[in-house]
Structure 1
Amino acid sequence: MEQGKIVKISGPLVVASGMSDADMYDVVKVGNQGLTGEIIEMRDGNASIQVYEETAGLQPGEPVYSTGAPLSVELGPGLIETIYDGIQRPLSVLLKKTGTNIARGVSEPALDRDKKWDFVAATKVGDEVSAGEVLGTVEETIAVTQRIMVPYKVSGKVKSIESGSFTVDETVAVIEDASGKDIEVKMMQRWPVRVERPYKEKLSPEEPLITGQRVIDTMFPIAKGGVAAVPGPFGSGKTVVQHQLAKWADADIVVYIGCGERGNEMTDVLNEFPELVDPKTGESLMRRTVLIANTSDMPVAAREASVYTGITIAEYFRDMGYSVALMADSTSRWAEALREMSGRLEEMPGEEGYPAYLASRLAQFYERAGKVVCLGGEGRVGALSAIGAVSPPGGDISEPVSQATLRIVKVFWGLDANLAHARHFPAINWLNSYSLYADRLNVWFAENVNKEFPNHRARALKLLQEEDELNEIVQLVGVDGLSKEDQLKLEVCKMIREDYLHQNAFHEVDTFTSTNKQFKLLDLILRYYDEGLRGLHEHADFKAITSLPLREDIGRFKYLEEDVVDGEYAALVGKLEASIEELIKKAGELND
């Protein structure tokens, strides 16, 4: 039924009159082609609509219909391995239907309505159940078993349930509520994307999300359920960092949102992810991944939808008790879309033209991450970790999006163009990055890796800061103007930078480093420093200390397979002590 008519068109913003019966954030169909849009402002019966498709060719007077429902996603078996656009249209299905260019007004169900899934009941007739409890399971892929949960606000007694093969919109169970009403439960449920999914309790994150990247795990760790930002200029390696996290992070599910990034970057993701081998299963990484592909040449309004779509899907898997890692690349493009829509709405602009509510929108997104006790009686604990890339123009993090993000997130991995140009990857600058989880996670590292791990981390960071100060002196007086102890410190900091912080994402061994190996490599470098200082105090020759062949052995340590790390570490410790003792002995003989 026709509700309104178009009265004004301004790019992706359409104003329609006669919409007094519609509500904010209702999804509407715009024009004769039925373009998908969302109401973002209501004023005197006129609705301002952000349209998620190209509006060229629309004309005033064309009809506008309200669906009466907010923008929602379909949740159920079939999400994994699927590539969606910003409003959860399956791109592989649209490719078959319309070709490489998506036709306007085309819509397809997000979940396949014809495919049957093997449902295994986990409850029986007569059981009392409440929202969030697991009714049964579906093995979606070799890596993911979906837990079919009682929908929100539903509770009662299981009246009927059976195992078997069902499509997502067939009834798998019937629950009789307290009033005697029968509620049919299907494997698929819908959820409005702007509404956070509920949970019992939010927990304090006290376990690290192990990524296998030394500069992250050791220096600037993120907790499971934590939030991090990766700001950096073009070409500094944001996408490589996110690819590494997607592949190696200790997460059960990966949700990757391409939010307005360049088409070629998203194409790389779409081509590479199916070929990446999941180290957990040996299968394709796509077996536990959902991709949201929204590139810079798509309508700007769809960028906002893609962010909310992605995090709602991530929350759904979190509610099953999984650890989920969400990558958003990049939130700057989303902020630019907010700026454009705000300008077209003629709102009062904030700093640099961004809307005044920019910070609150970013906060609402990141605050949906966390470690929670899920609904249901099983006491499941799920975690959603959110890592957002930020693309400040020219790498200037003083701009509003970076600053608003920094006020929200607890981890800042600042990428440095100079490090990237020097081929130092990951190009995370150790002088301006930080992690506010580090102190809390020190307990876990001390108990699960080594009690000296927190001390080593603090000491390595302090040495790197002192190196920066010494480099300023070197520029004035040269290296020879420093004491031998300070010259040794510079040599050790070079080892920390080149042998520890530098990591080759394309090397089959160096691409991932366990926490045990991380500690032992850092321990060897710091032992070399301590033994070197001892040698200097005992008058050993400085050049002899810095030119020990052992330094190359320490540098090659990161390329060792995990099964030989412990033995090689013990051998190098003994060799190091013996080498310094020999140099001290030589120094004593020369003095005699």
Structure 2
Amino acid sequence: MSELTGKIKSINGPVIIGDNMTGFKMREMVVVGPKKLIGEVISIDGDTGIVQVYEETEGLKKGDEVVSTGKPLSLKLGPGMLGNMFDGIQRPLKKIRADHGDFIPEGIGLISLDEDAVWEYKLLVKPGDKLTGGQIFAQVQETQLIVHKLMVPVDISGKVIWTNEMNKGTINDTIIKIEDKDGNIHDIKMYQEWPVRNPRPVEKRLEISKLLVTGQRILDVFFPIAKGGTTAIPGGFGTGKTMLQHQLAKWSDADIIIYVGCGERGNEMTEVLEDFPKLVDPKTNRPIMERTVLIANTSNMPVAAREASIYTGITMAEYFRDMGYDVAVMADSTSRWAEALREISGRLEEMPAEEGYPAYLPTRLAQFYERAGYVRTLSGEDASVTLIGAVSPAGGDFSEPVTENTKRFVNVFLGLDRELAYSRHYPAINWMESYSGYTHMIKDFYEKELDVDISNLREKMLGILFEENKLQEIVLLVGEDVLPDDQRLILEIAKVLKIGFLQQNAFHKDDAFVPLKKQYEMLKTMELLYDRGLSAVKKGIPISRVRNGETYEEVIKLKYTIPNDDISKIKEVNKMINDFYDKLESEYSK
């Protein structure tokens, strides 16, 4: 530990102002007071420094020491992260509960990964091999689902001069030794440390081109999320933000999930911590926790640590990405994170911007979301980090600063609607306010998976929903009967789309996750229903005959009646539609 020490001058909640801090560095990690509370230097002005403390500061007093650690706030990255639950600065909650009970005591230090656990590893290199930073030198079967790939720290390269042939050990054991070009010898262990605020380097960023398949129809077809993309899910209280993130965590085809509970209520986070370990990965029938890391920093935990929890999550995601995995980060919610920024800024007496948030809120949001991406890693793998951030605007007001600024930096905006949520329409995504900027970027992906270009179909169906929205205003004023039949048909088809396609049942075996091919065939059937109905209306057939209740009901029930593993049965419904309209047109032609 460095010999640099300062003295506490004053205390303002989680913010400490210190004297005699010449020589301390910005973003340096420090320990404060006799309990050695963990903090981070956030400002240096001559001899005076400002420290944000990640633990409760009750009991500190003027004159207590502030001691430098000589390094920035960093994570220990290695085997033991998957299946674990951490607080905002990577302290393991299960271990803390076992050792200290239900409450996290102050001054327990920066404990992280289990240093006593023994891991079996498989060496992939031998003495004489030349390695560069980021290359994989060994593997650990961390869980049955995920192989943990041990990588050379990015700032080290050289020749392997020794390997540990024991094939098992703790994270502190040296696995290989590397001699660099200057003759320095580096002991490479199972873990590496990384500053949370620094993005991990990559060989190059690649063009986004793949869909993050979620099995949720409104997402995969209408508002697609791309691997390596950025997504915001804003919505008022009770609109289903957390539920949607749970569904994405369970069903999306990301290899690894990092779930960050940032400033959420304690009971909500408790529910997550209890529910996630019980979830089964539908693709492997293994516990989903085997490919998940949970980070919990609830609203009653220290506010400064809440601000750090977002960076903890994204740093872990980048580490797994560098192994070649597709990682999805669920941040719930960035509004609570922004409120932590606002509180710290207020205690620093900085000039506030809109609604009291600091003027640098847009910059911090941009820095967070730009760490997403589809990349070529230093080990030559193509991998991604996808960021999905929930936003909790007060009263569902999307014009507030966090939502407005988030909109500037994300490419998918999934606005949740209170009326839809309260009418049991899941997911409660408002198709009028939502959008995705990835539809054209992943066009080739759809063509490869489905052998067709779905962009025209998507635009046609969205056009029906937009038209129906405008027509509803007229209906409210003068009633539906005054509309011409072709417009009344739009109202009926929109109803089929909303109930039969956009609404999804998370508890039904065939509707919780829907393969992309079935989604396309369902939408084509609804297009057929509209096209045949419109053709009949144009031939003068009254809407009362065109709108056949039995046929419409069969199309709405497609999500339940057509099994995911045999979608060929959808042809029977298409035949029923054609037979009905052929017969109807034949009758009227006579």
Same fold by TM-score, threshold 0.5 exceeded?
yes
Counterpart-to-counterpart distance in 1, 2:540 and 2:582 = 11
1:198 partnered with 2:201: yes
Instruction: State yes or no: 1:224 paired with 2:231.
Output: no
- Paired with 1:245 and 1:139, the residues of 2 have a C-alpha distance of 25
Q: Counterpart in 1 of 2:257? A: 254
RMSD value, Cα:
1.2
Q: Is this contact kept in 1: 2:228–2:384, CA < 8 A?
A: yes
Name the residue aligned to 1:463: 464
Q: Contact between 2:164 and 2:174, CA under 8 Å: does it hold in 1?
A: no
Secondary structure at the residue paired with 1:274?
helix
Alignment of 1:199-214 (within 5 A): 199-214=202-217
The structural deviation recorded for 1:586 is 2.0
Higher mean alpha-carbon deviation, 213-222 vs 502-511, is at 502-511
After superposition, residues 36-75 of structure 1 pair within 5 angstroms as 36-75=38-77
Shift, 1:537, TM fit: 2.6
CA distance in 2, matches of 1:441, 1:259: 31
Which SS does the other structure have where 2:242 is aligned?
helix
Superposed displacement of residue 35, structure 1:
1.1
Distance 1:529 1:223 in 2: 30
Of the candidates 282, 287, 295, which is equivalent to residue 285 of structure 2?
282
Hey, what's the Cα distance between the residues in 1 that align with 2:420 and 2:291? 32
Which residues of structure 2 form unaligned runs of 5+?
Answer: none
Superposed counterparts of 1:437-586, under 5 Å: 437-559=438-560, 560-565=562-567, 567-586=568-587
Pick which of 486-495 and 48-57 moved more: 48-57
- Contact kept? 1:93, 1:108, Cα under 8 Å: no
Distance verdict in 2 for CA 1:172–1:315, change over 3 Å: same
AA aligned opposite 1:243: H
Could you tell me whether the CA contact under 8 Å between 1:87 and 1:302 is conserved in 2?
Answer: yes
- Taking structure 1 as the reference length, what is the TM-score of the superposition? 0.97
Aligned AA (1:564)? D
Q: Deviations over 1:230-288 (max 9, x none)?
A: 01101010001100111111100000000001111111110111111101210111000
Q: Is the 8 Å Cα contact of residues 539 and 584 (structure 1) preserved in structure 2?
A: no
Residue identity in the other structure for 1:284: P
Q: Identity of paired residues, percent? A: 48
Q: Counterpart of 1:522 in structure 2: which amino acid? A: L
Shift of 1:507: 2.0
For 2:35 and 2:586, the matched residues in 1 are separated by 88
Deviations 1:478-531, CA, capped at 9 Å, x for gaps: 111011111111100011111100011222221111110110111111110001
Query: Among residues 326, 329, 342, which one is paired with 1:326 in the alignment?
Result: 329
Give unmatched runs, 5+ long, in structure 1.
none
Q: CA deviation at 1:320?
A: 0.5
Superposition deviation, residue 474 in structure 1: 1.1
For the 8 Å contact 2:36–2:109, the answer to whether it is kept is no
Partner in structure 2 of residue 28 of structure 1: 30
- Aligned partners of 2:92 and 2:250: how far apart in 1? 23
User: Post-superposition shift, 1:107?
Assistant: 2.6
2-structure distance, mates of 1:482, 1:175? 78
Matched, 1:317 2:320: yes
After TM superposition, the structure 1 stretch with the greater mean CA deviation from structure 2, 488-497 or 2-11, is 2-11
- Given residue 518 of structure 2, which amino acid in structure 1 is its aligned partner? K
User: Partner of 1:177 in structure 2?
Assistant: 180
| Cα distance in structure 2, aligned partners of 1:201 and 1:385 | 16
Q: Deviations over 1:191-239 (max 9, x none)?
A: 0001110001001111111111111111110110000100110101000
Q: Any conservation in 1 of the 2:146–2:290 contact (CA below 8 Å)?
A: yes
- Which region of structure 1 is more displaced relative to structure 2, 451-460 or 81-90? 451-460
Aligned partner of residue 215 in structure 1, secondary structure? helix
Residue 122 (structure 1) aligned to one of 118, 121, 124:
124
- Deviating above 6 A after TM superposition, structure 1's stretches of 4 or more consecutive aligned residues are none
TM-score of the superposed pair, with normalisation by structure 2: 0.97
| Residues in 2 aligned to 1:108 and 1:355: alpha-carbon distance in whole angstroms | 29
Structure 2 counterpart SS, 1:66: strand
The answer to whether the aligner puts 1:78 opposite 2:70 as a matched pair is: no
TM-fit CA distance, 1:443: 2.5
- Write the distance in 2 (CA, Å) between the matches of 1:468 and 1:213: 22
Q: Structure 1: which amino acid aligns with 2:175?
A: V
Q: Answer yes or no: is the 8 Å Cα contact 1:90–1:108 preserved in 2.
A: no
1:450–1:519 Cα contact (<8 Å) kept = no
Is the Cα–Cα contact under 8 Å of residues 231 and 411 in structure 2 kept in the other structure?
yes
Provide the secondary structure at the position in 2 that maps to 1:438: coil
Cross-structure match for 2:239: 236
Amino acid of the residue matched to residue 19 of structure 2?
A: S
- Partner amino acid, structure 2, of 1:204: E
Structure-2 separation of matches of 1:555 and 1:362: 41
Please state how far the C-alpha of 1:162 moved relative to its aligned partner: 4.1
Per-residue CA deviations over 1:362-416 (Å, capped at 9, x if unaligned) read: 100100110110003xx21110000001111111111111111100001100011
